[in-house]
A and B are shown apart, each in its own frame.
Chain A
């Protein structure tokens, strides 16, 4: 039985693809209102975990609950309360940025007037005052990623999954998104963020779970982890835990 204050509960999750084990008995909890960073190298199992939590992939074994709902048995209820920003930008090139955002508002059942105002607010927050009505096909990579992010948030989800939201972004865009995410973290919603950027996890997340080879190998606040491992940063924490630098693991 999950604790009432837990937004996400993962218990003994296993996912195998033929002879590859992507998740190996993974267990973790994310508290309501928390900005939780899932940190690890590429291939650690972060995206597989997000896919299972979003109901896109069925686990081989174990269980996961999101907002109190089982992700397999109550997938429809889970989809009503989550917003997902995929790692690979998934946007309609022939629609404008605003139309992409409004489309996903409609798919989440929002009222048209509510969609308009929320889209306007979020587009302004990520710096789209002038470009929102241009087709996404004409956008730069950074602009596409920002629209990708806003599409996950337009319906004010209780729980947000952001899979590597700043990967391949230029430093300026990345810091703009960090500011936006920090603002997001101050609301009551729960945010689960995957990243392999140590500095991103350190800057944004109240709690960090370090995943390697499909297992959770450490969790806690960045400060707790650094103190426990007598490290100056999370990179050194990862080195202490695995004997490898996270970049080498990538």
Chain B
């Protein structure tokens, strides 16, 4: 193998990155803009602050014992999750809910205070309690709000009735306080960043597919085949240039995320490992790109065919994967990008060391995928795609 030929191929590919705006946009500017938009939208700026939900309170309890309503509202505000606005009636609140101006409505019923008071006076005698039902209406257009608000409301009602430290029965087995692996608070953006690295890299599938089909259409591949350059040297040149592109992408995404407040939960070794993982994954993308070029009859069709490989990676293996159903989360384990996102999540969110078994397992799976797809890409393209 001649390194001179391999380097020459890699060099001309990298020149294309700097001179062809379409390639530059897809591989560098697009991930940069994506990171910026995600960072600003999901809490990159200002670190791990939590989202606040605007909710309407409709108080229908004119009872004399108004302190229970005040206590309930104080506890709601105290969660730090809600911005509360008082409404005169349920109808006007419903209008705002339908317009998406608020995420939920809490209707405090007539008798709420009396109900709370009855419980306090006879906690062990349910027959003496005055029953009341707090109505909750949620924004069905907000998946996060509809999942988060009911459970928080349950907790707030329990605090109102039982107090902050309700008496616990004495038992021989107790549940310790749940804590995260690292006691840091993360924003939604922090959870998205590992997937963004994989998201940027998967577009290499499209650019590699297009590059080979364009060179085939223009007779450049045939021309190179009249030189002593071997297929392996040609493919290696492409692989190296795409690894360099992946490094640039990771660097751009990381720098942009850092600028807007992202701080990974890992040191330099974790960051270096992240670069290595994405570089390894880029080899897999080159393989998929070669298979795309084998299937595509023209550079135009290469773009469409590349989505066969790109979309599963995008929806199952990147930040999108965090909102998948449990079944699809299992299916996602069949796409290599999932292991990229998982390993980077382990490094940057869970704070695991680079040598942890989880990271090593993910790297081994990515390596296997990369070797297999790259080899399959070369064999298929040489056999069916070069002419």
> How many angstroms from the CA of A80 to the CA of B8 in the assembled complex?
17
Q: Which of A83-91, A176-184, A237-245 contacts B (4 or more CB under 8 A)?
A: A83-91
Interface residues of chain A, those whose CB is within 8 Å of chain B, are: 54-56, 76, 79-80, 82-84, 86, 88-92, 94-95, 99, 103-104, 106-109, 135, 151
Q: Mark B1-40, 1 if CB is under 8 A from A, else 0.
A: 0101101110110011001100000000000000000000
Q: Are B222 and A135 in contact (CB under 8 A)?
A: no
- Contact status of A90 and B218, CB under 8 A, knowing A82-B226, A107-B224: yes
B15 touching A94 by the CB < 8 A rule? yes
Distance, CA A159 to CA B2, complexed state (A): 23
Which range holds the interface residue count of chain B? 20 to 34
CB pair A104–B20 under 8 Å, yes or no, is no
Q: Which residues of A contact B230 (CB under 8 A)?
A: 76
B15 & A86 in contact (Cβ 8 Å cutoff): no
Complex A-B: 26 CB contacts under 8 Å: A54-B226, A56-B225, A56-B226, A76-B228, A76-B230, A79-B225, A79-B226, A79-B227, A83-B226, A84-B226, A86-B219, A88-B219, A90-B218, A90-B223, A91-B220, A92-B16, A94-B20, A95-B15, A103-B11, A106-B4, A106-B7, A107-B8, A107-B224, A109-B4, A109-B228, A135-B19
Given A94-B15, A94-B19, A135-B19, the answer on whether A103 and B225 have CB atoms closer than 8 Å is no
Given contacts A84-B223, A107-B229, 15 further A-B contacts (CB under 8 A): A55-B226, A79-B226, A79-B227, A86-B222, A88-B219, A90-B220, A92-B12, A94-B15, A103-B12, A106-B4, A107-B9, A107-B224, A107-B227, A109-B4, A135-B19
In the assembled complex, which residues on chain B have CB atoms less than 8 Å from the CB atom of A83? 226
Nearest CB of A to B298, in Å: 16
8 smallest CB-CB distances across A and B, nearest first, come from A106-B8, A90-B219, A84-B226, A107-B227, A90-B223, A94-B19, A54-B226, A79-B228
Instruction: Specify which of A55, A82, A107 lies most central, judged by the most chain B CB atoms within 10 Å of its CB.
Output: A107
User: A-contacting residues of B (Cβ < 8 Å)?
Assistant: 2, 4-5, 7-9, 11-12, 15-16, 19-20, 218-220, 222-230
Q: How far is the CA of A83 from the CA of B9 in the complex (A)?
A: 18
CA distance A95 to B215 in the complex (A): 13
B5 in contact with A94 (CB, 8 Å) = no
A109 in contact with B220 given A56-B225, A79-B226, A94-B16 (CB within 8 Å): no
Q: Are B5 and A106 in contact (CB under 8 A)?
A: yes
Chain A residue contacts of B19, Cβ below 8 A: 94, 135
Complexed CA–CA distance, A20 and B16 (Å) = 39
Q: Within the complex, what minimum Cβ distance (angstroms) separates A144 from chain B?
A: 11
Whether A108 touches B228, Cβ cut-off 8 Å, given contacts A95-B12, A103-B8, A135-B19, is: yes
The distance in angstroms between the C-alpha atoms of A185 and B52, with both chains bound, is: 81
A75 to B229 CA separation, bound complex (whole angstroms)? 12
* Chain B residues positioned under 8 Å from A151 (CB to CB): 223
In the complex formed, the residue of A with least CB distance to B230 is A76
Q: Is the CB of B220 within 8 A of A99?
A: no
Query: Measured between C-beta atoms, what is the minimum distance from B386 to chain A in Å?
Result: 10
A contact residues around B225 at 8 Å (CB):
55-56, 79
CB-CB under 8 A from B222, the residues of chain A are: 56, 86, 90
Q: How far is the CA of A88 from the CA of B216 in the complex (A)?
A: 12
> Once bound together, how far apart are the Cα atoms of A76 and B20, in whole Å?
33
Which residue from chain B places its CB closest to the CB of A148 in the assembled complex? Answer: B223
Chain B residues with CB below 8 A from A82, complex form: 226
- Nearest opposing residue in chain A for B229, CB measure: A107
Do A80 and B220 touch across chains, with their CB atoms under 8 A apart? no
Q: Give Cα distance in the complex from A55 to B222, angstroms.
A: 10
Contacting pair B15 A104 (CB below 8 A) = no
Q: How many angstroms from the CA of A92 to the CA of B219 in the assembled complex?
A: 10
Alpha-carbon gap, A99 to B18, bound state (A): 14
Question: Smallest CB–CB gap between A15 and chain B, Å?
Answer: 14
Interchain nearest-CB distance for B284 vs A (Å):
26
* Complexed CA–CA distance, A107 and B5 (Å): 5
By CB atoms of chain A within 10 A, which of B2, B20, B223 has the most? B223
- In the assembled complex, the CB of B85 is this many whole angstroms from the nearest CB of chain A, namely 58
| Cβ contacts under 8 Å, B220 to chain A | 90-92
Q: Which residues from chain A contact B16 at a C-beta distance below 8 Å? A: 92, 94
Neighbouring B residues of A106 by C-beta, 8 Å: 4-5, 7-8
Residues in chain A near residue B20, CB distance under 8 A = 94
Query: Is there contact, CB below 8 Å, between B227 and A104?
Result: yes
A99 contacts B229, CB within 8 Å?
A: no
Instruction: Provide the bound-state CA to CA distance between A88 and B215, in Å.
Output: 13
CB distance from B387 to the nearest CB of A (A): 8
Q: How far is the CA of A89 from the CA of B219 in the complex (A)?
A: 8
B217 to chain A, nearest CB (A): 10
In the assembled complex, the Cα of A103 lies from the Cα of B220 at a distance in Å of 12
Within the complex, the shortest CB–CB distance from A69 to chain B, in Å, comes to: 13
Contact A99–B5 (Cβ < 8 Å): no
Contacts of B228 in A (CB 8 A): 76, 79-80, 107-109
Complex CA–CA separation, A42 to B15 (angstroms): 37
Tell me the smallest distance from the CB of B118 to a CB of chain A, in Å: 80
Q: Are A86 and B223 touching (Cβ within 8 A)?
A: yes
Cα of A104 to Cα of B4 in the assembled complex, Å: 11
Query: Chain B residues near A80 (CB, 8 Å)?
Result: 228
Q: How far is the CB of A158 from chain B (nearest CB, A)?
A: 13
